[in-house]
Structure 1
Amino acid sequence: MTENNEMTEVKPSLPTYSMWQLVRYMLALGTWGFGGPVALVGYMYRDLVERRHWISEGEYKEGMALAQLMPGPLAAQLAIYLGFVHYRFLGATLVGLAFVLPSFLMVVAIGAVYKAYGGIGWMQAVFYGVGAAVIGIIAMSAYKLTTKNIGKDKLLWVIFLVSAAVTVITKSEIVWIFLGAGVLVWLWRAPPKFLSGGTVNSIAAPLAAFFAIDTLDWHRLGQLGAFFAYAGSFVFGSGLAIVPFLYGGVVQEHHWLTERQFVDAVAVAMITPGPVVITTGFIGFLVSGFWGAVVAAAGTFVPCYLFTILPAPYFKKHGKRPAIVAFVDGVTAAAIGAITGAAIVIGRQSITDLPTAALALITIGVLWRFKKVPEPVVVVVAAIAGLVLYPLTVHP
């Protein structure tokens, strides 16, 4: 796939596949698609554009541009858009559900085991190792995002550093910094005409109890829905961009989870396929059981669904405007800064001794040296290391 600064003009085309074929493909990708958003969008290009020729290169690039512009998880939004290309709103809806559902069911199952057996040593040992590896993965992701998106732009570097510092100091993500960064870069690079006068640059529980609604804390569910809908509406960038935002709300503000549980939630997202932000389903399960998971996941993904299908018919006309491109660049720089700050904040809780520090550094080294090593493989190896090291270092 070649890079192109300008979006290829998309010509109308007739589908060479059925809607259900695309739904089945996305269901499979959501089941085995490891590696995070960058890998997932790469799989879609390889399978749907290059191999099967279901989607044209122009349609794919158009979907990528829209997914990067709108807040929400990149891979899920691209999948929704590709469903929209030939089968409009029904296709977008079914494809989005197929892509997210497998990983949602996985994190609910893991959440049930975690909640029921979280105090058992083997699970603590697994997350002892995995938590440290996750810090290394986040750190490498932040590095890659920084070099790719910020480069030598001094204004973007200032925004990145300010956002990282604020995240470390406040231990939370401040949405207004994101929006302010977007507006600042917009005004600097592509000011509106009215400003251009000068130059401006429980597994064992009965199944019925698992799904019961008569014992629910409806107030808590309402809080969950509102918080995750807010997160899904204002977080730009890759799946990891939501981590600092969730940390600030789930741990610092609402105290729904401990810092240890939050790191474990991020780890669960790393070891399951599909979109990274499905960790919201795991968090929701820990807070309010199955229906908490449903509310949290729906709150996160419904906004990104709407942000994809509503502007899709109009995006070809306005998506290349310099003001919009500049705004997205500013928001992206702030998001990368927040991810970097979050790695430091969360690292304080996961890096507690020499073995965990070594695991984090080894993870960084492996990902640096062997760029094609899948992140889930690193996490599985870290889990095995945790099983070995935890009894020796924590509970001999």
Structure 2
Amino acid sequence: MTGTGEARADGMAEGVAVSTPPAHGIPFAEAVRVWARVAALSFGGPAGQIAVMHKLLVEEKRWVGEARFLHALNYCMLLPGPEAQQLAIYIGWLLHKTRGGLVAGTLFVLPGFLAIMALSIVYAVFGQVGLVQALFFGLKAAVLAIVLEAVVRIGRRALKNRVMVGLAAAAFVAIFFLGVPFPLIVLAAGLIGYLGGRAGHPDFLVGGGHGPAAGRAVADAGTALGEELPAHARPPLSWSLEVAGACLLLWLGPVLLILLTLGHDHVFGQIALFFSKMAVVSFGGAYAVLAYVAQAAVESYGWLRPGEMLDGLGMAETTPGPLIMVTQFVGFMGAFREPGGLPPLLAGVLGGVLTTWVTFVPCFLWIFAGAPFVETLRGNRALSAALATITAAVVGVILNLAVWFALHVLFAEVHEVRALGLTLPVPVPASIDPASLTLTMAALLAVFRFKVGMLPVLAACSAAGILYRLVTIGL
């Protein structure tokens, strides 16, 4: 995918030579190191992961500006699959073309892939993850603090007036209380913003990349990438078709090969087909599709036993990478329990690899095929208004995730109460975990009051959690 099509994109009518280094001057090796840092710190689901990228790429490195970052984020929010990984691919592509996107997207999932694979093996062999839970007990408190900080940080950037605040609040109510599907919230917000932008209403014209940045936001003009559109971001249609074809072949080629050789009823055929379909419909991030995946894995395929999905989610929540990595655990256990003629552990590893492949390869397709067109529309007032409005709505959705995560970190029992058409997750007060509450309060104090960095907070909370479990349980 980095051959003739990319060279053609570089050597277009702009007269840019193929061998010309990037105009922004960011060495590719340095970018690889930064993407590795992003991957290592990508805890806390999409909110925490987006916050990590914002802090490193916008605030510290100043490689991209606020408006460009949000423009890319808005597009990724519209796509199926993990939006944080897609954002990494998008920015990596902006900085260093196709190879930049490939490196950024691959590194983003690599630590989580390795961690989930190791934990899945432990789970399958020993049948429980008590030691693992002890290792990551304190980490959950730090993750919660990071997610809440991300809500505040992104909210400050996106909610620039009362209209945007109201839209964020409406999105939170819709998804938290009414259970409105995430895609409907995005479509409604986008339509409202588009109409408001077309009408020229000033409250909606907050997403453009050429106006002055609000507060301490980093303006595009003061960044390495600047305001201009890179030459490779204006490829001909033929390049987009070539790269889309290559991604489709990499994604669906193995699926078709497995189906033709092993059949639909083989566990690998089931995994390849099911998770390929999930990759197309998984709008709204991991939480939006967890119920769908859990029901299919337990009731339709028998890959998991009741309750095991929560064990897998616990692994995904406390390891770096997208939460959708929980699907790797599902694929591993499905193949482990139906190994065919293979050793169970080998079958499980292959099942986990296959699940990860068909889940994440489509993300590269969505970005490489669509990002050039989205970049050329950055100056479109109505589209910018629509994307800015979607960002406001997404703040409400991220707050919903933060509340959901907080309830399940701090309380052992959470019941759903239905009344007047509303569904309320209500925690059982007696089930509160004092240790989790104490660690969470300490993490919040460190993050918000003393501005302690993310890595020290993660390390301190993890160490405190291990010490607590050693003292109380004697592991």
Q: Same fold (TM over 0.5)?
A: yes
Going from structure 1 to structure 2, the CA distance change for 1:167 and 1:311 (only over 3 Å counts) comes to: closer
Task: Write the letter of the residue equivalent to 1:344.
Answer: V
Question: For structure 1, which segment, 115-124 or 252-261, has the greater mean C-alpha deviation from structure 2 after superposition?
Answer: 252-261
Offset at 1:321? 1.2
2:315 to 253, 264, 268: 264
Residue of structure 2 in register with 1:365 after alignment: 445
Q: How many residues align?
A: 334
Provide structure 1 residue ranges, at least 5 long, that are not aligned to the other structure: 1-10, 51-56, 85-91, 202-211, 236-241, 270-275
Residue of structure 2 in register with 1:205 after alignment: none
2:131 to 109, 122, 129: 122
Residue of structure 2 in register with 1:388 after alignment: 467
Q: Deviations over 1:193-251 (max 9, x none)?
A: xxx9xxx99xxxxxxxxxx99763422332222223333xx45xxxxxx3543545445
3-state SS of 1:347 partner: helix
Residue of structure 1 in register with 2:210 after alignment: none
Distance 2:400 2:292 in 1: 15
Contact 1:127–1:386 (CA under 8 A) maintained in structure 2:
yes
Distance 2:153 2:292 in 1: 26
Residue of structure 2 in register with 1:99 after alignment: 104
Residue of structure 2 in register with 1:239 after alignment: none
1:226 to 2:277 alignment: yes
1:143 to 2:223 alignment: no
Distance 2:448 2:60 in 1: 27
Contact 1:128–1:350 (CA under 8 A) maintained in structure 2:
no
1:83 to 88, 96, 110: 96
2:391 to 305, 309, 332: 332
Q: Comparing both structures, which one devotes a greater share of its residues to helix?
A: 1
Task: Write the letter of the residue equivalent to 1:122.
Answer: L
Residue of structure 1 in register with 2:288 after alignment: 245
Distance 1:328 1:392 in 2: 50
The within-5 A match list for 1:1-396 is 15-16=20-21, 24-33=29-38, 34-35=40-41, 36-40=49-53, 43=56, 64=69, 67-71=72-76, 72-73=83-84, 74-84=87-97, 92=98, 94-118=99-123, 119-154=128-163, 156-169=164-177, 173-191=181-199, 216-231=267-282, 234-235=283-284, 242-247=285-290, 249-250=292-293, 258-269=309-320, 276-277=321-322, 279-280=323-324, 282-289=325-332, 290-291=349-350, 293-294=352-353, 297-299=356-358, 301-315=360-374, 317-352=376-411, 353-371=433-451, 373-374=453-454, 376-392=455-471
Offset at 1:324? 0.7
Task: Write the letter of the residue equivalent to 1:370.
Answer: F
Q: Deviations over 1:28-83 (max 9, x none)?
A: 33333344445446655799987xxxxxx7xx789646523422332221102223
RMSD of aligned alpha carbons: 3.8
3-state SS of 2:154 partner: helix
Task: Write the letter of the residue equivalent to 1:324.
Answer: L
Going from structure 1 to structure 2, the CA distance change for 1:166 and 1:250 (only over 3 Å counts) comes to: farther
Going from structure 1 to structure 2, the CA distance change for 1:173 and 1:347 (only over 3 Å counts) comes to: farther
Distance 1:149 1:258 in 2: 34
Provide structure 2 residue ranges, at least 5 long, that are not aligned to the other structure: 1-13, 42-48, 77-82, 206-257, 299-303, 333-348, 412-432
Offset at 1:327? 0.9
Going from structure 1 to structure 2, the CA distance change for 1:385 and 1:391 (only over 3 Å counts) comes to: same
Distance 2:364 2:32 in 1: 17
Distance 2:54 2:15 in 1: 22
Distance 1:371 1:145 in 2: 16
Distance 2:295 2:119 in 1: 22
Going from structure 1 to structure 2, the CA distance change for 1:311 and 1:112 (only over 3 Å counts) comes to: closer
TM-score, normalization by structure 1: 0.70
Residue of structure 1 in register with 2:45 after alignment: none
Contact 1:70–1:307 (CA under 8 A) maintained in structure 2:
no
Question: For structure 1, which segment, 329-338 or 162-171, has the greater mean C-alpha deviation from structure 2 after superposition?
Answer: 162-171
Contact 1:129–1:385 (CA under 8 A) maintained in structure 2:
yes
Offset at 1:286? 0.4
Distance 2:67 2:32 in 1: 22
Distance 2:466 2:166 in 1: 42
Going from structure 1 to structure 2, the CA distance change for 1:122 and 1:254 (only over 3 Å counts) comes to: closer
Task: Write the letter of the residue equivalent to 1:79.
Answer: G
Distance 1:106 1:322 in 2: 39
Residue of structure 1 in register with 2:216 after alignment: none
Residue of structure 1 in register with 2:218 after alignment: none
Going from structure 1 to structure 2, the CA distance change for 1:316 and 1:328 (only over 3 Å counts) comes to: closer
Offset at 1:135? 1.9
Going from structure 1 to structure 2, the CA distance change for 1:185 and 1:391 (only over 3 Å counts) comes to: same
Residue of structure 1 in register with 2:7 after alignment: none
Task: Write the letter of the residue equivalent to 2:110.
Answer: L
Task: Write the letter of the residue equivalent to 1:284.
Answer: T
Report % sequence identity: 16
Going from structure 1 to structure 2, the CA distance change for 1:190 and 1:331 (only over 3 Å counts) comes to: same
Offset at 1:323? 1.0
Contact 1:131–1:263 (CA under 8 A) maintained in structure 2:
no
Distance 2:199 2:453 in 1: 43
